[in-house]
């Protein structure tokens, strides 16, 4: 076993994307005394917004809610292009001095919790050399996004090997790809496909969007007229806050209306699409999905750019199945053939939770699928660990901001009580559980078996509802359904009183073990030995937070 002393920090963030940078900014402000480091697998800040380089890459939700609550989005555009979002994340990191806290080129692959020492040992691999490095932390904060950076999802298409043209996945866009004057087929119907089609159609000879089944597509103005009006009249921060509230509320309204009155919503969406396409366009085949609105994420197109491109003939939409690739394109189940020199497989992502980080507690590897989420940001029985997973029906950052604030409050709570660890206790073992993510999108369904579960009541429910989470995460207690442990001095032989010592991030010692909760991962062993003894303080259980009856707590 290696014996060299490990570098230790109070909080180790994994991932320097939008969430990791935001989390570091918050932690620095809330707890400047804490040491904070970020491990980043890549050589750049920005995550998604640095990785994706395909033509037209942009946000598909508005920047007033995708931006951080603490730093107003500086532009008038509500829908922003990828490079502008990357600049925003980089500028935030620079302004808040977060850059110097990032260790680039280190992919964390295993984190081991020791109850005896109340700390995580994190193993990471250096990109350049493949060398393994280790460090320890009191609190592990995973801001690793939700998909694999290694490879996008590409189903295997028969005959693809004989296609004479080029096949490209948007996650690995070749910088030099020249599509000017060429015939392009984009396979897919999601946010990436509807972005690529108008962008490539600007110079391509023709672009065909080939979809197996349609998606709901909504057009919104790229510049929000209310934001433009407010910019001149209100101070920047106030205007930004107002826009954030307005857009969060409108998105939730649309989601709730879709869940409660799907037929009405479907009608409204269909009408919106039909009004932007030529008379006689087959809206029902190409834009009327079989599922209800918001059972999958909706696609947003700024200023109806997709519809304009289709209307003026530079692009077309085909709803069919691929039978096989041919030398010159694709043969479809209907018998039709599509000629192409370039085929873009906008077929999605591979979901990956915690950036592939394997967790172990006191030597036992945690199976994420056997755990239950707590407030959508911790796992039952997993001590001193939080993660960011944004909303599926609203901007990611709305949730990321709330989680970061919650982690700051939790750490403060622990410090005030001299606690060294905390772990959600887990719901009753008989409690009903459901898949963690309530979406029928392909990337979710492909990974459902390996994801944690969620309960049907708070705090085990993953709310896809910003306003409910505001109450739960920003204003609610941080000690409900949680066990806390603290380190106390051992009773000397004469029986003198014990003295607490240490806090979250205190020097290593023997000590605290998180007591196992019901249905939670049970850490094995309690390392009380040596000069310091451990004592699990009585779990602080606040039975009911917020809406008490299980039914009303449903998200």
Point out which residues bind ligand FAD (CB under 6 A): 14-20, 39-42, 47-48, 52, 57, 59-61, 66, 107-108, 143-145, 149, 192, 355-357, 388, 390, 395-396
Count the residues in the chain: 555
Classify strands 36-39 and 7-14 as parallel, antiparallel or unpaired.
Answer: parallel
Instruction: Please tell me the distance from the alpha carbon of residue 99 to that of residue 103, in angstroms, as a whole number.
Output: 9
Dihedrals phi, psi of 191, to nearest 5 degrees: -60, -40
SS3 470: helix
CB of 46 to ligand FAD, least distance (A): 7
- CB closer to ligand FAD out of 74 and 159: 74
CB of 428 to ligand FAD, least distance (A): 31
Q: Report DSSP letters for 267-279, one per residue.
A: HHHHHHHHTTS-T
- CB closer to ligand FAD out of 62 and 341: 62
CB of 11 to ligand FAD, least distance (A): 15
CB of 52 to ligand FAD, least distance (A): 4
Residue 452: closest CA among 421, 480, 418, 427: 427
CB of 81 to ligand FAD, least distance (A): 11
- CB closer to ligand FAD out of 57 and 473: 57
Judge if the upstream peptide bond of residue 459 is cis by omega within 30 degrees of 0. Answer: yes
CB of 279 to ligand FAD, least distance (A): 32
Instruction: Please tell me the distance from the alpha carbon of residue 290 to that of residue 258, in angstroms, as a whole number.
Output: 14
- CB closer to ligand FAD out of 22 and 427: 22
CB of 354 to ligand FAD, least distance (A): 7
- CB closer to ligand FAD out of 19 and 384: 19
- CB closer to ligand FAD out of 18 and 269: 18
Instruction: Please tell me the distance from the alpha carbon of residue 333 to that of residue 324, in angstroms, as a whole number.
Output: 9
- CB closer to ligand FAD out of 441 and 483: 441
Instruction: Please tell me the distance from the alpha carbon of residue 25 to that of residue 282, in angstroms, as a whole number.
Output: 49
b/e burial code for range 493-523 (CB count within 10 A of at least 16 → b): eeeeeeeebbbbbbebbbbbbbbbbebbbbb
- Residue found under tokens 């108008």: 198
- CB closer to ligand FAD out of 69 and 144: 144
The alpha carbon of residue 306 and the mean position of all alpha carbons in its chain are separated, in whole angstroms, by 26
Cβ-based neighbour number of residue 232 at 10 Å: 7
CB of 133 to ligand FAD, least distance (A): 12
Q: Which residues pair with 372 in a beta bridge?
A: 453
Instruction: Please tell me the distance from the alpha carbon of residue 6 to that of residue 189, in angstroms, as a whole number.
Output: 48
CB of 337 to ligand FAD, least distance (A): 30
Distance set, CA 331 to CA 189, 190, 310, 400 (Å): 18, 22, 22, 44
CB of 83 to ligand FAD, least distance (A): 13
- CB closer to ligand FAD out of 330 and 403: 403
Do residues 64 and 240 lie in contact, with contact meaning Cβ atoms separated by under 8 Å? yes
- CB closer to ligand FAD out of 307 and 391: 391
- Residue found under tokens 């801001």: 143
């Amino acid at each position: 076993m290696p014996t060299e002393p490990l570098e230790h920090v109070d909080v180790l963030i994994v991932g320097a994307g939008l969430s990791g940078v935001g989390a570091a900014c918050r932690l620095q402000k809330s707890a400047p005394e804490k040491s904070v480091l970020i491990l980043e697998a890549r050589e750049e800040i920005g995550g998604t917004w640095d990785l994706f380089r395909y033509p037209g890459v942009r946000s598909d939700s508005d920047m007033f809610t995708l931006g951080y609550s603490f730093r107003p989005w500086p532009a008038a555009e509500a829908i922003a292009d990828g490079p502008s979002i990357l600049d925003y994340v980089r500028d935030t990191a620079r302004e808040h001095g977060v850059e110097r806290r990032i260790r680039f080129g280190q992919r964390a692959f295993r984190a081991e919790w020791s109850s005896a020492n109340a700390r995580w040992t994190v193993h990471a691999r250096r990109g350049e050399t493949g060398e393994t490095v280790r460090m320890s932390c009191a609190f592990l904060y995973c801001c690793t996004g939700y998909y694999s950076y290694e490879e996008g999802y590409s189903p295997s298409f028969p005959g693809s090997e004989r296609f004479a043209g080029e096949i490209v996945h948007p996650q690995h866009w070749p910088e030099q790809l020249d599509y000017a004057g060429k015939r392009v087929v984009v396979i897919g119907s999601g946010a990436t496909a509807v972005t690529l089609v108008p962008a490539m159609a600007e110079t391509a000879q023709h672009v065909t969007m080939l979809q197996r089944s349609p998606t709901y597509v909504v057009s919104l103005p790229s510049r929000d007229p209310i934001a433009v009006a407010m910019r001149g009249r209100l101070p920047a921060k106030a205007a930004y806050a107002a826009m954030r509230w307005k857009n969060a509320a409108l998105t939730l309204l649309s989601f709730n209306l879709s869940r409660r009155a799907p037929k009405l919503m479907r009608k409204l969406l269909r009408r919106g699409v039909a009004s932007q396409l030529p008379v006689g366009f087959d809206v029902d085949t190409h834009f009327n999905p079989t599922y209800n609105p918001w059972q999958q994420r909706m696609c947003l197109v700024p200023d109806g750019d997709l519809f304009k491109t289709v209307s003026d003939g530079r692009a077309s939409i085909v709803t069919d199945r691929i039978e096989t690739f041919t030398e010159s394109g694709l043969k479809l189940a209907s018998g039709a053939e599509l000629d192409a020199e370039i085929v873009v497989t906008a077929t999605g992502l591979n979901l990956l939770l915690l950036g592939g980080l394997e967790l172990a507690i006191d030597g036992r590897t945690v199976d994420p699928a056997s755990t239950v989420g707590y407030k959508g940001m911790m796992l039952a029985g997993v001590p001193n660990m939080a993660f960011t997973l944004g909303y599926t029906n609203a901007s990611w950052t709305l949730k990321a901001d709330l989680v970061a604030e919650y982690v700051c409050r939790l750490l403060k709570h622990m410090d005030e009580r001299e606690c060294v660890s905390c772990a959600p206790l887990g719901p009753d073992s008989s409690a009903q559980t459901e898949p963690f993510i309530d979406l029928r999108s392909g990337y979710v369904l492909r990974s459902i078996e390996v994801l944690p579960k969620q309960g049907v009541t708070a705090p085990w429910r993953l709310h896809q509802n910003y306003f409910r989470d505001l109450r739960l995460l920003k204003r609610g207690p941080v000690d409900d359904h949680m066990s806390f442990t603290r380190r106390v001095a051992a009773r000397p032989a004469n029986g003198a009183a014990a003295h607490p010592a240490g806090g979250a991030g205190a020097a290593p010692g023997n000590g605290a073990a998180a007591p196992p909760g019901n249905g939670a991962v049970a850490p094995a062993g309690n390392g009380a030995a040596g000069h310091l003894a451990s004592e699990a303080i009585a779990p602080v259980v606040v039975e009911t937070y917020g809406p008490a009856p299980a039914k009303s707590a449903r998200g």
